[in-house]
Structure 1
């Protein structure tokens, strides 16, 4: 049988780029997306027969199980990618603790549910599999106001290591990627909402923040994820791979 994959947050940005990349493997890809409208691009796609969209919350175990059922009906489940994310800022001095914890859960819960669902299915089928969790450079380099996002991503990286250790002997690899800034729809909307001069300033700052002089293209992050899912990465597990154009290793020179 052919291979199948599940990608959460597969309707746009990195998730969409990854779905399209994985279709080149001649397998079937199931994309989970909260907003059904974000799955409309699948209609008329040349590989539509191997594309399955599931509208729902990736943190809902029922939705995750539905996606897994569809993937396994189409082929051997080979990989699961936890890409879905929520970007909401909050600071502990101005937000309630309950609100902060809810925002942490909004990003962490979907990854936990995805990992648990994939591992249970791999074990039940007796087949090896790979999981990739999408983290962020912010897991190690925080910015003001992003405590919920930073905390969730740091927890996801810890979970990645723990699962790799626990399930490696069962043929399950678990890794993460940590992108820097990426030219997604969200990034484009942010720039579009700025005055031209402000947008130009942001782009200059972004170029300075990445040693390669630009933000990433979604396809570049997708390619790294696809590699970690592949047999070529068969001896890589428990790793968090930065796909950030050098942002995480950049130190600003105070003498410059």
Structure 2
């Protein structure tokens, strides 16, 4: 079950955090993984490691916020082989309320988290239509549906991701294109460690425990746990699932009251 043998997958932001875990798991399950990443060196390191382990992977440097770059990169991949799966994962975070978020910061978050996903959808969907179908998985967040303090721009962008997911699922239902999204709570990634170190120097352990316990289950998610759900939703076993936002949040949304 859950094999991706003979499948070709694109993973944006696929060289760190959740994206890295997805790239690794999809490759292990037989997919030919194309890692689209702003940081070329980081992506190449991940791809090289996967190839050395006997899996299939390639790295591509691309800024998802620039449509021309996205189109050029993805079209080059399509020329090599058809794409079966798009994991729209690339994203950036921001801390701030509406009145403390600068215009430039708001635009940066929206350009990557919303426009970046749109650019990939814009490019991949016609290909899926021409080949008779495909699977899209977008990375959203619980911040898109519940109030998270000091996350105005980020929450706005993730709410848009959920809306895009539903729109795409509806519009392309009869093109055999499935589209779902994941909404994780806090996931323990290097970003989280860096965020704590930057904003709470000297209180790292205390803040890590506080953030961990904000999930009723008492800890943050592991990237591998998010990747496992992504694998299921992108596999043939999930063929009856489309237009869904999957909470993977340790009980945060339903039990945190």
Both structures adopt the same fold (TM-score exceeding 0.5): yes
Matched, 1:190 2:199: no
Q: 1:251 aligns with which of 241, 251, 256?
A: 256
The corresponding residue for 1:26 is: 30
Match of 1:169 in 2: 174
Q: Gaps spanning 5+ residues in structure 1: where?
A: none
Q: Is the 8 A contact 1:9 1:83 kept in 2?
A: yes
How far 1:28 moved relative to its partner? Answer: 0.8
Question: Which structure 1 residue ranges, 4+ long, deviate > 6 Å from structure 2?
Answer: none
Whole-Å separation in 2 of the counterparts to 1:251 and 1:95: 27
Contact 1:161 1:238 in 2 (8 A): yes
Q: Any stretches of 5+ residues in structure 2 without a counterpart? A: none
Cα distance, 1:84–1:169 mapped onto 2, change above 3 Å: same
* Structure 1 equivalent of residue 119 of structure 2: 113
1:62 matched to which residue of 2? 68
Aligned-pair CA distance for 1:102: 4.4
Deviation at 1:243, TM superposition (A): 1.0
Q: Give the equivalent residue in structure 1 for 2:110.
A: 104
TM-score, normalised with respect to structure 1: 0.89
CA–CA distance in structure 2, aligned partners of residues 146 and 59 of structure 1: 20
Determine if the alignment matches structure 1 residue 84 to structure 2 residue 104.
no
The CA distance in 2 between the partners of 1:82 and 1:176, in whole Å, is 9
Show the counterpart of 2:17. 13
User: What TM-score results when the alignment is normalised by the length of structure 2?
Assistant: 0.88
The alpha-carbon deviation at position 50 of structure 1 amounts to 1.5
1:77 counterpart SS class: coil
Aligned residue runs from structure 1 range 171-250, under 5 A: 171-193=176-198, 194-196=200-202, 198-250=203-255
Cα distance in 2 between the residues matched to 1:209 and 1:98: 30
Mapped to 1, the partners of 2:98 and 2:212 lie a distance apart of 31
Spell out the pairing of 1:126-165 with structure 2 (5 A cutoff). Answer: 126-165=131-170
CA separation of 1:27/1:69 partners in 2, compared to 1, >3 Å: closer, same or farther?
A: farther
CA separation in 1, counterparts of 2:86 and 2:132? 13
Q: How many residues align?
A: 250
Closer, same or farther: CA 123–211 of 1 in aligned 2, 3 Å: same
Structure 1 residue 135 displacement after superposition: 0.3
1:59 and 1:42 map into 2 onto residues whose CA distance is 22
Pairwise CA RMSD: 2.1
Contact 1:2 1:75 in 2 (8 A): no
CA-to-aligned-CA distance 1:150-203 (integer Å, 9 cap, x gap): 11100110110011011011100010000110111111223444445x222223
Q: SS state of the match for residue 81, structure 1?
A: strand
Q: Distance in 1 between matches of 2:21 and 2:120?
A: 19
Secondary structure class of the residue paired with 2:11: strand
The 10-residue stretch of structure 1 (64-73 or 202-211) with the greater mean CA deviation from structure 2: 64-73
Residue 121 of structure 1 deviates from its aligned partner by 1.0
CA distance in 2, matches of 1:213, 1:95: 30
Rounded to whole Å, the distance in 2 between the matches of 1:12 and 1:249 is 29
